[in-house]
Amino acid sequence: NAGVTQTPKFQVLKTGQSMTLQCAQDMNHNSMYWYRQDPGMGLRLIYYSASEGTTDKGEVPNGYNVSRLNKREFSLRLESAAPSQTSVYFCASSEGTSVWETQYFGPGTRLLVL
């Protein structure tokens, strides 16, 4: 099983450009998440999808949009990239949203916005 996969692994953007980060999971999980990781700040939740057909904002949603394309796929879009969005982006999934549900992470996407 591949688990959670993310594309691309690395991306360099210029300010104002747009891009979509792709995420897919093959564990038949219901819930999916997007985080960003900045130095010294741990991971912060951007958006999540508790189940297919639903999406909700997390702690730091500004500047991002998401689409839960189907049960397997959850994409994150930057409409107009800014240098403050330089970060490592992680997608994660869990079977459900109960407090005991473990989140499993993809390998991450390193994004540099110039």
Please enumerate in sequence order all residues whose Cβ is within 8 A of that of 41, keeping only pairs 6 or more positions apart, or say none: none
Residue spans of beta strands (DSSP E) within 1-114? 4-7, 10-13, 19-25, 31-37, 43-49, 56-57, 64-68, 74-78, 87-94, 104-105, 109-113
Burial class of 39 by CB neighbour count within 10 A (0 to 12, 13 to 18, 19+): exposed
19 binds another protein (CB under 8 A): no
Q: Which C-beta is closer to another protein: that of 28 or that of 98?
A: 98
93 binds another protein (CB under 8 A): no
CB 80 to another protein: min, Å: 26
CB 65 to another protein: min, Å: 18
10 binds another protein (CB under 8 A): no
Interface with another protein (CB under 8 A), residue from 19, 45, 61, 69? 45
Interface with another protein (CB under 8 A), residue from 7, 43, 65, 71? 43
Interface with another protein (CB under 8 A), residue from 84, 107, 112, 114? 107
User: What are residue 106's phi and psi, to 5 degrees?
Assistant: -80, 180
Q: Which residues bind another protein (CB under 8 A)?
A: 33, 40-45, 48, 50, 56, 58, 88, 90, 92, 97-108, 110
